[in-house]
Chain A
């Protein structure tokens, strides 16, 4: 079963990019947790190392099987994450007002992270089996639409508006990619826009507040507005070369909220300056372009669409998180993929990277 050609085709470039990211993440996290090293910070940092090691191991495991297996296990995977999402709502752990975590035998994880992967797999399966590019009309889309809507609603209920929105955007990217008819797209957008006011009223008060405080930061100088200002100060004060490792004053004095997760990028930008933030973005850019290349070289629709989905996960979460820390988007709780702390995010992204590697390794193979 194991083919020597797989080894020859091993995607060293992808691996290298991931190792660089992991290294940068761990280094940055050491600094971000340094001021709180005695009250749980060291654990966050050490855990991150283990998560990455575990993630790389999983990545290798995922490359072992042929990704065409996804065609068979897409729905079982998807359904099991849906079940996990429902369990979150029933027995989930509550932390600062929302219910996002499941705990199994001491291991706490966030099913919404894994839902992103299983949702793109199930969409890839659907689109690779139904119709050709360019031909999708609205009526062909009701099923994939439902496939996305259910997890989105379950996640929004937690409430985790940021993750829910991110999932919707990622899924929508796939639908755009397989391309629906222009007319259908137009109708879809009109519907979404006219639904917006209704969605507004279903939002929790704190969610409305966050959006408002983004649009007019001066209305909430104590909450989100304060976070945006502090993050901008951190980023801006980095200048070209940064203040130096462990020397970020904003970081050390804990002016940044969630500086090891949501605002990890601000820490980097403060301590390493434009050079550091530019380098990190370049690594991500290479990763994304390389992912697009893998999608291009894949020999079938399943591989292509899955690869594009994984690229979309990285791209959109990166854009949302970085924009948030530099004041381009409201503060939504989206971590920076492969950079912020958090086991679920790293493991699920590394699983996705394993799939990408898998697709890449089998690009020259015929069955």
Chain B
């Protein structure tokens, strides 16, 4: 015997244990057989009937996606019934004949239908295969009246997303698209199946979970011909929650109309709490296109030919702020004591530093100016001098205080930071020390400075709301009226530490920009409503390049300056802060300021 063999005691224990195991196995097998007996004998006939005469089908019912409103409850996005045309492969009697009839009656391409039938998974012969989405009324009538010669076809009404005003606020609302494999796997869309449309961007994307609702379905008994005999169990779909944006539909419409056919962005915000009242980025796309489905070729063409309409210029477009930045330089100069409001500075039309000269936009010069006139007439030389006194890092400190150089935190994807350069930043990222001349350019909002339109609407808001930097918000409420799951509350993200008397000087000047003779923004003036603002013109290429051209109109469009205007109205009781940016349009005063006037008239003139 082997030494590792069992001693007699162990063998006995082992045998007893194996006996126990055998008994357990026998008991479990008996239970399984009893259950089988129960299913196949006692209940067998019932199951046999269920399987033979009747069939239990599963029908899925799509939920209604939540509707989207504007701040006043005007409906912007809803769902409309879409008549979709299906073929059930199992019910086709003669495929060729069916294809011929469809071609004859509806002009449908037999090859296209064949292709779809072949591509569909063959193992579910009862699963309807979608042949054509959203058929017209005429087609519907033809199919209904010819149902008897079209066996195996079916019309099902499915809810389809409907953007009532087409591309209105499309950059805020976003669009739907088919769920990707990656998203399916992520587990973030537990209720979605392959082929479902889900929100891909904007509010549709970020609030998908709330808007989507829950799929329902029912188990039905159908007879051999597919007719429903009885509903066995039913789980109604749960519609998605409704949602209201903070925007005002009419203002939004006007904003979009005003920059139609141009590239640019308009943002209107309530300066007192951060609610976005209008948000336009042009060009834009009609999100209805995505609902219907869009081919790759069509997509490429659209994106390249129409100037990247998916880019949300209001938050992703980064531009030099140009003269808008003078507000911040002025605030910094006053606060740091680098300038007093009464100091007189002479503008001869140029400013020389080292061996380089920097021109004022008004080549003849502004003569002797104080702070007020310098802002009103946007004198460059005045700010070159102030900027030089302050230095790059002090200017950068104030720029950041005003919320530049970082995201505003708006609930939309792809927001950009912009850029507030410092001497340390330049050394680190470019490897060259900061040059004094760059401070000069920076004082009038050029150099490396980059801002997004949404950041600038907060700058002018902060000056008039007591220094508060609010997070811009686009959702007024989510839920159903009376039982909201979310309701707008303002979120303050920072504040600007500027003495009230200094702010008052700047406010006076901004009022002057629009209302005083010689002001750069007089085209935004309105009789009944006090408007304040600041113009800006952001250089796209250096002045030298542009000087080649005799007349401004001869400059090729892509070299032309971007036009800026920020505005606030009414002064005294602020209700709207506005940023307007138009790419390659030229001067802010002539191209952007009139737009602000229209917007203010529309929103406050009612």
Chain A residues engaging chain B, CB cutoff 8 angstroms: 35-36, 38-39, 41, 94, 97, 128, 132-134, 177, 179, 204-206, 218, 221-222, 226, 229-230, 232-240, 249-250, 253-255, 269-270, 273-274, 277-278, 281, 285, 288-289, 292, 295-296, 299-301, 304, 308, 315, 319, 322-323, 326-328, 366-367
A39 and B44: CB pair below 8 A? no
Residues of chain A lying within 8 A (CB to CB) of residue B35: 323, 326, 328
A232 and B36: CB pair below 8 A? no
A177 and B21: CB pair below 8 A? yes
B45 and A292: CB pair below 8 A? no
Which residue on B lies nearest to A288, using beta carbons? Answer: B25
Contact of B25 among A222, A229, A237, A285 (CB under 8 A): A285
Residues of chain B lying within 8 A (CB to CB) of residue A292: 18, 21-22, 25
Indicate if B400 sits at the interface (CB-CB under 8 A). no
Residues of chain A lying within 8 A (CB to CB) of residue B6: 299-301
Distance A306 CA – B47 CA, assembled complex (angstroms): 42
A229 and B51: CB pair below 8 A? no
B5 and A326: CB pair below 8 A? no
- SS of A interface (majority): helix
Distance A255 CA – B32 CA, assembled complex (angstroms): 23
Distance A237 CA – B39 CA, assembled complex (angstroms): 8
A36 and B44: CB pair below 8 A? no
CB distance from B19 to the nearest CB of A (A): 9
A-B contact count (CB 8 A): 153
* Contact A289-B25, Cβ < 8 Å, known A97-B184, A221-B217, A238-B44: yes
A-B contact pairs, 30 of them (CB 8 A): A38-B122, A132-B10, A133-B10, A133-B14, A204-B187, A205-B187, A206-B190, A222-B58, A233-B47, A235-B47, A236-B46, A236-B48, A237-B52, A239-B41, A239-B44, A239-B48, A240-B40, A254-B124, A270-B51, A274-B40, A278-B33, A281-B32, A285-B26, A295-B18, A299-B6, A300-B4, A315-B28, A319-B28, A322-B32, A323-B35
B218 and A221: CB pair below 8 A? yes
Distance A251 CA – B176 CA, assembled complex (angstroms): 37
Indicate if B60 sits at the interface (CB-CB under 8 A). yes
Q: Per-residue 0/1 for B17-31: is the Cβ within 8 Å of any A Cβ (1 yes, 0 no)?
A: 110011001101100
With an 8 Å Cβ cutoff, the count of chain B residues facing the other chain is 57
* Contact A299-B5, Cβ < 8 Å, known A133-B14, A236-B44: yes
CB distance from B490 to the nearest CB of A (A): 35
- SS of B interface (majority): helix
Residues of chain B lying within 8 A (CB to CB) of residue A39: 121-123
Residues of chain A lying within 8 A (CB to CB) of residue B25: 285, 288-289, 292, 315
A296 and B2: CB pair below 8 A? no
A205 and B190: CB pair below 8 A? yes
Indicate if B235 sits at the interface (CB-CB under 8 A). yes
Which residue on A lies nearest to B121, using beta carbons? Answer: A39
* Contact A239-B123, Cβ < 8 Å, known A288-B25, A300-B4: no
Indicate if B43 sits at the interface (CB-CB under 8 A). yes
Residues of chain B lying within 8 A (CB to CB) of residue A322: 32
Indicate if B219 sits at the interface (CB-CB under 8 A). yes
Contact of B17 among A177, A226, A273 (CB under 8 A): A177
Indicate if B200 sits at the interface (CB-CB under 8 A). no
A234 and B125: CB pair below 8 A? no
